[in-house]
Structure 1
Amino acid sequence: MTSRNWFTNTLGDLTVKRSLTALAVLAVLAAGCSSASGSTDGDVLRFAAVPAEQNIDPTAEYKDIIALIEKNTGKKVEFVRSTDYNAVIEGMVSGKIDLAEFGPLSYVLAKTNGAKITPIASMVEKGGTPTYQSYGIVPAGSRITDINGFKSTKVCFVDPGSTSGYLFPSQGLLGAGIDAKTGVQPIMAGGHDNSVLSVASGKCDAGFAENAMVDHILIDKGKLKSGQVKVVWKSAPIPMSPVAMRDALPADVKAALTQTFTKDATKDRLVQMGICKDEGSCRVTADASIWGFQPVNDAVFNPVRQVCAATHNEKCSKA
């Protein structure tokens, strides 16, 4: 089998697996739903998050925010685990998920494809701005010094629905005269962790991931050594990931969720409310460096839509 055919077959297999994953998640959700409006009953909220990492069970990392949602709404929260961006998007479009933590692009894609949702708040680091970056990385010993060197190499992306793992990298490559589909040998790693670790191990010649995964998440977990990969490209600032809720939820529930994410979903408030012992142990999302959330509206994500247009990304068009 030729190298090109291997990559074509690999990407085809991944596409099938992702479609099956999305259908499986939706089937599970549909089995428990009594109406087209989505929730199992009035006492349950279904919460999902796009996967930043493939090799962890995210449920434990969301336990504090789940406890906060339950405290403020009086509802039981069912965390819907997904290994695929598209499953979360489709879950919101179909109304089978009530609340979701998106990536910026996956939020835009959900809206574009008909999800009746409203963004509540976006992540923010303590004292920081609600933006992050995509990194282009290579193994520490690589001769590649900038994004121009990615041409014709084996490049790891995260997921076609990932903002920092695909969309903004596509724009960066385009600026270097490289098509993200035909100018490199693309591999969809499925998670930011897989993308970084595949580059570190030499399975990919280069790759893309969110800056936090490179800067500290994998290092803090002992999965990556400092300096094991080198950053050779950085994107423009990207709006931080939002939490959005279904518009069809009852008004009192939407008010409680707004209160939750705009007022209470910070590490200091979680301690004050007795949900966790101290700020060091508190988590508001899977990334321990995120301090909390701040209010956001749909217009904040217009830069993502602009990059969609500039890269002619077909996923950004209504399916």
Structure 2
Amino acid sequence: MTRFTRAALLAGAAAAALTACGSSAASDDDAGGLTFAAVPSEQNIDPNAEYEDIIGLIEKNTGRKVTFVRSTDYNAVIEGMVSGKIDIAEFGPLSYVLARANGAKITPVAAMVEKGEAPTYHSYGVVPKDSTITSLAGFKGKKVCFVDPSSTSGYLFPSAGLQQAGVDPRTGVKPVMAGGHDSSALSVKDGKCDAGFSLQSMVDSVLPAKKELARGDLKAVWKSPAIPASPIAIRTDLPGDVRAKLTSTFTRDANKDRMVALGVCEDAASCKVTSDPSYWGYQAIDDKAFDPVRQVCAATRNDKCSKAA
């Protein structure tokens, strides 16, 4: 069995597991419950702890119990939303576009932001500190770590960057799907991959803050164009009052300052609005904001993007 066959089987198993969770959650919804799914940017975290504050805020504002479902695979979240088994999802930009393209009846309500910043972020192409690679052209023929085929900053935009550098992302490198932005960056540091892609914040702040990566362990030889920030999307067919409460929750209250004021968090330093601590909160977003992702999908002609382009 090849590595990619195993990956496909694992993705299918994850999707089945998430759908099964969603089936029980659907009856919870009839009784007033909500199901929230996400793919954390890091693999080695306790997702229930990382999302505890935002779940508490949703429950406070809606009066409904929230069941959190962690997925290790973007496809599982997409499938859960398409099947209507998930009520709220934290998507990557590409996985949101793919969910819509595959028939999910969802509405984006907010996107992650750093305080005072635009709702965009960047991906890095990284190599070990002693590597002789100086650009994406040098990735040709190398073992390259990506995050997931449905990851925007961990696969889609890097694929476009490689193509622009004259490297086919499928045949011009030896691709490895690391599964998380932390795993991709650390695999490059540890020499498991010659090069790789990861969130800028993961390399610059998240892993250094955890002392899992020292500044200078990796060199960024490429920085992506601005990528639309990851959205929160909700099921369009939820009751109107629930949709309104969820929208106001994320656009008005889901930021560290407001959550402290509401008593959800003790202080801003410990308050968590998502699994990536670099984010301060959310701001309103609409579907049009993700047109740049659709444009990159069309340009790369990636198999994942065939329905989205």
Aligned to 2:32: 43
Find the aligned partners of 1:42 and 1:317 in 2 and give their Cα distance. Answer: 38
Matched, 1:96 2:85: yes
For structure 2, the residue ranges without an aligned partner over 5 or more in a row are: none
C-alpha distance after superposition, 1:78-134 (max 9, x if no partner): 001111111111110100000001010010000000000000000110111111011
Query: Which residue number in structure 2 is paired with residue 278 of structure 1?
Result: 267
Q: Does 1:220 align with 2:220?
A: no
Structure 2 counterpart of 1:304, from 284, 293, 304 = 293
* C-alpha contact (below 8 Å) 1:172/1:235 kept by paired residues: yes
The answer to whether 1:251 aligns with 2:225 is no
2:257 is equivalent to residue 264 of structure 1: no
Deviations 1:60-79 (A, max 9, x none): 11111101000100000000
Aligned counterparts of 1:33 and 1:96: Cα–Cα separation in 2: 6
Separation (CA, whole Å) in 2 of partners of 1:25 and 1:73? 23
* TM-score normalised by L of structure 1: 0.94
CA-CA distance at 1:161 after TM superposition: 0.5
What letter matches 1:205 in structure 2? D
Unpaired runs of at least 5, structure 1? 1-7
8 A contact 1:51–1:84 mirrored in 2: no
The one-letter code matched in structure 2 to 1:105 is L
1:315 corresponds to 2:304: yes
Looking at structure 2, the residues matched to 301 and 206 of structure 1 have their Cα atoms a distance apart, in angstroms, of 28
Aligned to 2:13: 20
Q: Distance in 2 between matches of 1:184 and 1:32?
A: 41
Q: Look up the SS of the partner of 1:75 in the other structure.
A: coil
Residue 222 of structure 1 and its aligned partner are, at CA, apart by 1.6
What percent identity do the matched residue pairs reach? 63
Tell me the TM-score normalised to structure 2 length: 0.97
1:40 & 1:244 partners in 2: Cα distance? 17
Instruction: Give the alignment partner of residue 291 of structure 1, picking from 268, 275, 280.
Output: 280
Q: How does 1:1-319 map to 2 (within 5 A)?
A: 9-34=2-27, 39-318=28-307
**Cα distance in 2 between the residues matched to 1:19 and 1:215:** 33
Q: Deviations over 1:9-59 (max 9, x none)?
A: 11221121111111122123224534xxxx542311000112311111211
- SS for the counterpart of 1:55 is coil
Counterpart amino acid of 1:99? I
Q: What do the CA deviations read for 1:173-194 (whole angstroms, capped 9, x no partner)? A: 0001111110000000011011
Distance 1:122 1:28 in 2: 25
Structure 1 residues 20-29 or 287-296, which shifts more? Answer: 20-29
SS at match of 1:318: coil
RMSD between superposed Cα atoms in Å: 1.3
Q: Which amino acid aligns with 1:76?
A: K
- Equivalent-residue separation in structure 1 for 2:79 and 2:40 (angstroms): 14
CA contact under 8 A between 1:118 and 1:244: conserved in structure 2? yes
Asked if 1 retains the 8 angstrom alpha-carbon contact of 2:142 and 2:173, the reply is yes
Between the aligned partners of 1:248 and 1:194, the Cα distance in structure 2 is: 36
The letter for the 1-side match of 2:7 is L
Q: In the alignment, which residue of structure 2 is the partner of 1:5?
A: none
8 Å CA contact 1:11, 1:187 repeated in 2: no
SS in 1 for 2:219: strand
Q: Distance in 2 between matches of 1:164 and 1:154?
A: 18
Contact 1:118 1:247 (8 Å CA) reproduced: yes
Q: Tell me the alpha carbon deviations over residues 196-237 of structure 1, each in whole angstroms, 9 at most, x when there is no partner.
A: 000000000000011111111111112111111110001100
Aligned length: 308
Taking the aligned partners of 2:165 and 2:103, their CA distance within structure 1 comes to 34
In the alignment, which residue of structure 2 is the partner of 1:4?
Answer: none
